[in-house]
A and B are shown apart, each in its own frame.
Chain A
Amino acid sequence: MQTISVVTPEYAARHALRANSSCYSLWEILDKVFDPELPQVSIWDLGILVNVQDLHTQGVKVVVTPTYSGCPAIDVISADIIAALNGAGIAEVDVQVSLSPAWSTDLISPAGKIAMRNQGIAPPDSEVHCPLCGSENTGVISQFGSTACKALYRCHSCQEPFDYFKEF
């Protein structure tokens, strides 16, 4: 199976922000919040979790950014974040949707790309490999797949159709 690409500078910057955060445990709680349309990829791995801040007496502030303008999942994700933090005993949670910096596939973590492939979705890359047999001999069927963030591809080696998470 092909290797996963190296860490992008965009992901490295996110990783540094999280590593230097004074509320590391809050980030870990949110590792259990997944994208409803990609059930094995957490919002952290997908790059839509931008920041977590502990405002102490004023609760916790979470900033997320949508993948696409019309992403219908963002309301569900916000509700899931509140539920996860409420479950950890934090009553006051403020989820803000920020458009800046604009989401891009460069923000996705290496673990997120592996999780996508394990789910049968080819992760964003300059070369689209079949997530099932690893072949590079693939072609586009439709530029939009089951959701706005995916395109539909076909593997010419094993003949299977698959979703490709579009480089964006």
Chain B
Amino acid sequence: MTNTSNDALYHYVLGLADDALILGQRTSEWCSRGPFLEEDISLSNLALDYIGRARMFYQYAAQVEGIGRTEDDLAYFRDERAFSNLLINELPNYDFAFSIVRQYFIDVHACLYLEQLKYSSDAHLAQVATKAIKESRYHLKRSETWLLQLGQGTTESHERMQNAVDELWGYTSELFLMSDAETQLLSSGICVDRSELQEPWMAQVSADLSASSLAVPDQQWNVVGGRKGDHSEHLGHILAELQILQRSYPGLQW
């Protein structure tokens, strides 16, 4: 592998790792704050699946980079602008409806995405995808059920869900945007062509929103930039909480 394509692979895998870590960390904020005990446990387990996924990607990114950095170095010692997660992952939880709608949008995307990544020409990524897709399918069952229940629930639950759908909609276009690294790796069959997932994603989401009595937004605005390190004001805060221990006591272990 040439240095250029090795660099692209590193940045590609790092992006997937950052997505998983930031969503996992964000979801873990629900721990002890869930609407009821069982749901609290579900949210914590969901967060754990994402942290596990982040570790698999960071370990591989560190190996590809090959300069002796570890998964912990990548997670704890990079600054905000070096994080390349998609913006949808870093938005605050706001309310339960917002977290559920975000998770639902991401679950539909993850199932489509990982189904393709299973056939990556990179054997390690294919293995991670084979493992992760089973989890995402399970997550989707749960978020779909909540979408239906809350979309068709009370006036308030419906209103909160619709607000969440409208607010998040402009952040979904980034899920289908190819990064420079991905464009570079596409011909070798390592990564997935995100742009091709937009149509099936839209079809499924439109159908599920309709079934949940929720309207598909017709707004045209969208926000992008996460992959390039252009983040919202929320990422700095989440990193502060995530990284403070290792930044204060570098190398500290449990």
Instruction: Kindly list chain A residues whose C-beta atoms are within 8 Å of the C-beta of B132.
Output: 69
- B42 touches which of A103, A143, A166, A168 (Cβ 8 Å): A143
Query: Do residues B38 and A152 form an inter-chain contact, with CB atoms below 8 A?
Result: yes
How many residues from A make CB contacts under 8 Å with B?
22
Contacting B at CB under 8 A, from A26-45, are none
Contact check, B41 vs A145: say whether CB atoms are below 8 A apart.
Answer: yes
| Contact status B130-A144, CB under 8 Å | no
Closest beta carbon of chain A to B110's beta carbon, Å = 12
B81 beta carbon closer than 8 Å to chain A: no
B141 interface hit (Cβ, 8 Å): yes
A148 touches B38 (CB 8 A): no
- Within 8 Å of chain B (Cβ to Cβ): is A5? no
Beta-carbon contact of A102 and B131 below 8 Å: yes
Tell whether A99 is near chain B: CB-to-CB under 8 Å. yes
Indicate if A70 sits at the interface (CB-CB under 8 A): yes
Contact residues in B for A69 (Cβ distance below 8 Å) = 49, 52-53, 55-56, 131-132, 135
Bound together, the chains give a CA A117 to CA B197 distance in angstroms of 42
**Using a Cβ–Cβ cut-off of 8 Å, how many residues does chain B contribute to the interface with A?**
25
B36 (CB) vs chain A CBs: closest residue:
A142
> A147 interface residue, CB < 8 Å from B?
yes
- A72 at the A/B interface (Cβ < 8 Å)? yes
- Which residues from chain B contact A148 at a C-beta distance below 8 Å? 45, 48-49
Query: Residue A146 at the B interface, CB < 8 A?
Result: yes
> In the assembled complex, which residues on chain B have CB atoms less than 8 Å from the CB atom of A103?
131
Q: Is the pair A70, B134 in contact by a Cβ cutoff of 8 Å?
A: no
B41 and A142 form a contact (CB under 8 A): yes
- B141 & A72 in contact (Cβ 8 Å cutoff): no
- Taken together as a complex, chains A and B put the C-alpha atoms of A141 and B128 apart, in Å, by 30
CB distance from A144 to the nearest CB of B (A): 4
Cα of A50 to Cα of B23 in the assembled complex, Å: 31
Q: Known contacts A148-B45, A168-B138; is A70 also within 8 Å of B50 by CB?
A: yes
CB contacts (< 8 Å) of A147 on chain B: these are: 45
Which B residues are CB-close (under 8 A) to A168? 134, 138
B38 touches A142 (CB 8 A): yes
Scan residues 30-71 of chain B and give those whose CB is less than 8 A from a CB of chain A. Answer: 38-39, 41-42, 44-46, 48-53, 55-56
Could you say which of A68, A100, A142, A145 contacts B39, with CB atoms under 8 Å apart?
Answer: A142
A146 to B131, CA, bound (A): 21
Complex interface: chain A residues within 8 A of B50 (CB): 70
Q: Which residues A107-144 have CB closer than 8 A to chain B?
A: 141-144
Alpha-carbon gap, A142 to B36, bound state (A): 10
| A12 on the B face (CB < 8 A) | no
Check A102/B51 contact, CB under 8 A, given A68-B135, A141-B38, A168-B138: no
Q: Give, as a whole number of angstroms, the nearest-CB distance from B248 to chain A.
A: 24
B141-169 vs A, Cβ < 8 Å mask (1 yes, 0 no): 11000000000000000000000000000
26 contacts between A and B (CB under 8 A): A68-B48, A68-B135, A69-B53, A69-B55, A69-B131, A69-B132, A70-B45, A70-B48, A70-B52, A72-B48, A100-B130, A102-B127, A103-B131, A142-B38, A142-B39, A142-B41, A142-B42, A143-B142, A144-B42, A144-B44, A144-B45, A145-B41, A148-B45, A148-B48, A166-B138, A168-B134
Interface residues of A (CB under 8 A from B): 66, 68-72, 99-100, 102-104, 141-148, 152, 166, 168
- In the complex, given contacts A69-B56, A70-B50, what are 16 additional A-B residue pairs having Cβ atoms less than 8 angstroms apart? A66-B52, A69-B49, A69-B55, A69-B132, A69-B135, A70-B48, A70-B49, A70-B52, A70-B55, A99-B128, A100-B130, A102-B131, A103-B131, A142-B41, A143-B142, A148-B49
Sorted from nearest, which 6 A-B pairs have the closest CB atoms? A70-B52, A69-B52, A142-B38, A70-B48, A144-B42, A144-B45
